[in-house]
Amino acid sequence: MPSAVDSVFEIAFWFSDRALNDNEYLQPIKLQYLMFLAQSYFAVAYEGKRLVPAIFVAEVVGPIEPSIYQAFTRGRPNLDVPINLDDDVRSFVDSIWRRFGHHSADYLAKLCRRNPAYKAALKRGRRAEIDLTEMRDSFIASTETPAVDSVVKPKVMRSHTGRAVEVKAWAPRKVKPS
């Protein structure tokens, strides 16, 4: 299944820029946790679709995306990566930032390490891949993490009469073959 963005660096740079705009220092490990949460919640909200074309692996410190982990160990890398997020993706990562960005890296570490998908991957060994389907299912079933509807707020706009209406992408209904 294709991802919502072209590169994992687009989302990493978006989080990095957002932290800078909010005058907050974004530790490289905190970036990892935010990326893991974003990928997981995106899979929940968008029926298993990937936010970023990346694979997360289990390390003792928590779930990491190896390329971003290596690239950001000495600060933000000097790469020319355009950040071309469509409105839905931008709104989604903004929701993740507003819900989790103010938390400490320690808090996010505990949250991510309690995740059943992470635990299962770590049991298989360090650097074991955390399957996206397992990530999605564990976030759906977990009582340890907030529900997706409390993290990703629906987009609200005003109708021509001024009434608030919830806006989401059109999705055709599924018809069972006869």
* Predicted local distance difference test score (pLDDT) of residue 111: 94
* Predicted local distance difference test score (pLDDT) of residue 177: 78
How far is it, in rounded angstroms, from Cα 144 to Cα 78? 36
* Predicted local distance difference test score (pLDDT) of residue 81: 84
How many Cα atoms within 13 Å fall on the side-chain side of residue 68?
A: 29
* pTM given for the model: 0.83
* Predicted local distance difference test score (pLDDT) of residue 92: 92
How far is it, in rounded angstroms, from Cα 165 to Cα 146? 24
How far is it, in rounded angstroms, from Cα 132 to Cα 29? 20
Residue 137, number of CB atoms within 10 A of its CB? 17
How far is it, in rounded angstroms, from Cα 107 to Cα 54? 23
58: buried, middle or exposed (CB in 10 Å: 19+, 13-18, 0-12)? buried
* Predicted local distance difference test score (pLDDT) of residue 2: 84
Q: Which residues of the chain have pLDDT under 50?
A: none
Alpha carbon distances (Å) from 178 to 30, 55, 82, 154, 173: 49, 38, 46, 34, 15
What are the two backbone dihedrals, phi and then psi, of residue 158, each rounded to the nearest 5 degrees? -110, 140
Q: How far is CA 132 from the centre of its chain?
A: 11
* Predicted local distance difference test score (pLDDT) of residue 50: 95
* Predicted local distance difference test score (pLDDT) of residue 82: 83
Based on its alpha-carbon atoms, the radius of gyration of the chain, rounded to whole angstroms, reads 17
Token pair, residue 11, equals 């989302």
Torsional sign, CA 85, 90, 96, 102: positive
* Predicted local distance difference test score (pLDDT) of residue 165: 62
For tokens 């000495």, name the residue: 74
